[in-house]
Structure 1
């Protein structure tokens, strides 16, 4: 037999009105932030709200406005990378800061498989979120097709495929990769390789293109090892393979800081000194760069600001204040020189 008592009754607008001695319409105008309420009545209502413990029924309000007050934060990466990648975390925190400041809830959705893609598509179709920030969209990503079909306000972090008209914010991955490679070559390196990753999305493909441009005629396709993800394991195994292909390699551009950390460990195990024997550079300026030994020369990208800009873009679309043209916006990057070069 249950010993639980009856659930306490939820305070209503009527309770607030009775406590404040005003009409329910006046209470509603104050709660909705509308004008034409005297300062005296407003103060009485605010005191009454505190006394009766009134909490707005957001579910009822959302039903009436057909808004969920929620924004999806969609990451197309394996679950473990979502937890371990500091850049994704920084983008998430930046987006959440802007959304929470506008009284929107952020809902995290991770796509790790085709089944996940179908699940997220159903979720978006159900109207559970008003918009979406999308990280790591792939070329020919079915998620973008779903967003276009549903006309959901959305912004990508990263440059979208050429056929997509979804607004986006990002960085010049190609230019930044060219700059960091030029720095590496400028330290006197002559046999320079790259541990590339994520070539099925704009960031990975553009970083490889920037590396190729910087080397020009010295570019050797044999000295590029490809991996699927920006992860530590890819750096360790990629460095081992690169040393097998070219034992005399004396410079390495790792496509992310996590990859660079794995490469440094592989070089240490092989008895190669950094930077005396091999110079190593990364990309991101994440927490990985400061955990490496030696400290990592890398490209700083403003991950938190990318999240903030993407969230602000989605909110602007919801308010109807976004520009008609879905042009992308580029945030600045710069090379951070440390001990690995």
Structure 2
């Protein structure tokens, strides 16, 4: 009669600490998602965990830390179809994931596209099913940022809130990015510059349009035409058709997003306009869409993955130390020059 194989020995925190060459307390902080551990020590512990096959007792950890080991990524005021069609959101997911996954933190996606789903998410958060939320809110009148602040739920916003709120946020310097675009077009000798803005009920749409007009004025110019889009490819195409009607002699267009610029390019091709000879084009984002344009798109790069990683980092710090002061970070953009301008 064959003997049953002996059960594998249980790997303890002490075993991991011995392999990593650190203290048990350091291993415990890494396992519990404490953001205060230095990156080098964290990496050593994570390698030791992989080498030893250590599996944390999540139930015990939850009792000690009073956390669930999970966070939510909530996207507000957009449908699922819009979210998955826009490369911006994929980049946000990538940046958040690369921060939380090595720490054993699970990520839940929440799509908030109406009032019932907003209330459902708030109840879910208040009941402690996740430890906090990274929020991508797209409209200025979205009540969710204020609701999160009132509920004292750990939260970090993608972008500055429309109204001052006691909540951390991460954003790109929108004004600086638009200035880079306008300065580049002016340096090319373009003087009849139009713009296809984002929707003006979004902070990004409004701020980029205001910054565009301010920078033109700085150069002693006024816009040749303006048309409002909606940050989609179809919206960019519609805005470009409007601009061709309003300013047929425009020699450049600043488009408020790469996805809109892709739609604008298709309209210009059909209209027989050469890019950049007849009309120079600059976008905003530097997503993978910029490389699928014909010609490849000159655009303002916002480091979305790095910004999203910072949002997740700030949220984990807030969860680990609730008494910590709220923090915000503004990233600097850069102009990526390709063939469209």
Give the TM-score category using the shorter length. Answer: 0.7 to 0.9
Partner of 2:315: 314
Provide the residue aligned with 1:215 in structure 2: 216
Match of 1:224 in 2: 226
Deviation, structure 1 residue 200: 2.4
1:244 maps to 245
Q: Distance in 2 between matches of 1:263 and 1:298?
A: 14
CA RMSD of aligned residues (A): 2.7
Which residue number corresponds to residue 334 of structure 2? 334
Alpha-carbon distance between aligned partners in 1 of 2:187 and 2:110, rounded to the nearest angstrom: 42
* Maintained 8 Å contact 1:156/1:166: yes
SS in 1 for 2:285: coil
CA contact (8 A) 1:137 1:160 kept: no
CA distance in structure 1 between the aligned counterparts of 2:322 and 2:116, rounded to whole angstroms = 35
Alignment of 1:141-156 (within 5 A): 141-156=142-157
Residue 293 of structure 2 is matched in structure 1 by 292
Q: CA deviation at 1:29?
A: 7.4
Cα shift at 1:265: 0.4
TM-score normalised by length of structure 2: 0.81
Match of residue 269 from structure 1: 270
Contact kept in structure 1, 2:176 and 2:332, CA below 8 Å: no
Shift of 1:320: 1.2
Q: How many residues align?
A: 303
Q: Mean Cα displacement is larger for which, 238-247 or 254-263? A: 238-247
Shift of 1:243: 0.9
Counterpart-to-counterpart distance in 2, 1:57 and 1:175 = 47
Does structure 1 conserve the Cα–Cα contact (< 8 Å) formed by 2:133 and 2:315? yes
Deviation digits for residues 261-291 of structure 1, max 9, x if unmatched?
Answer: 1001001111111111111110011101000
Q: How many angstroms apart in 2 are the aligned matches of 1:244 and 1:285? A: 28
**After the TM superposition, which of the residue ranges 260-269 and 134-143 deviates more from structure 2?**
134-143
Question: What's the CA shift for 1:170?
Answer: 1.0
Q: Equivalents in 2 of 1:132, 1:331: separation in Å?
A: 21
The structure whose Rg is larger is: 1
Q: For residue 312 of structure 1, give the secondary structure of its aligned residue in structure 2.
A: helix
CA distance in 1, matches of 2:111, 2:180: 32
Q: Cα 1:236–1:322, aligned 2, differ >3 Å: closer, same or farther?
A: farther
Note the C-alpha offset of 1:323: 4.7
Runs (5+) with no aligned partner, structure 1: 1-14, 36-45
Structure 1 residues 137 and 276, CA gap change in structure 2 (3 angstroms): closer
- Taking structure 1 as reference, are residues 55 and 334 closer, same or farther at Cα in structure 2, changes over 3 Å only? closer
Whether contact under 8 Å (2:176, 2:333) holds in the other structure is no
In the TM superposition, what is the alpha-carbon distance from 1:202 to its structure 2 partner? 2.5
Secondary structure of residue in 1 paired with 2:263 = helix
- Contact residue 316 and residue 322 of structure 1 kept, 8 A: no
Question: Distance between the aligned counterparts of 1:27 and 1:304, measured in 2?
Answer: 35
Structure 2 Cα separation of the partners of residues 295 and 27 of structure 1? 54
Instruction: Specify the alignment match of 1:3 in structure 2.
Output: none
Shift, 1:184, TM fit: 1.2
Contact 1:137 1:156 in 2 (8 A): no
Is residue 126–residue 153 contact of structure 2 (8 Å, CA) maintained in 1? Answer: no
Matches within 5 A, 1:63-142: 65-76=65-76, 77-142=78-143
- Following the alignment from structure 2 to structure 1, what is the Cα–Cα distance between the partners of residues 138 and 270? 35
Structure 1 pair 27–57 and aligned structure 2 pair: CA distance change class (3 A): closer
- Structure 1 residues 243 and 27: CA distance shift in structure 2, 3 A: closer
Q: Deviations over 1:63-85 (max 9, x none)?
A: 56431111111112321222122
Distance across 2 between alignment mates of 1:332 and 1:322: 29
Cα deviation, 1:3-48, whole Å, max 9, x if unaligned, reads xxxxxxxxxxxx97xx75x9xxx9687799846xxxxxxxxxx9xx
Q: Evaluate the alpha carbon distance shift between residue 31 and residue 124 of structure 1 in structure 2; reply closer, same or farther with a 3 A threshold.
A: farther
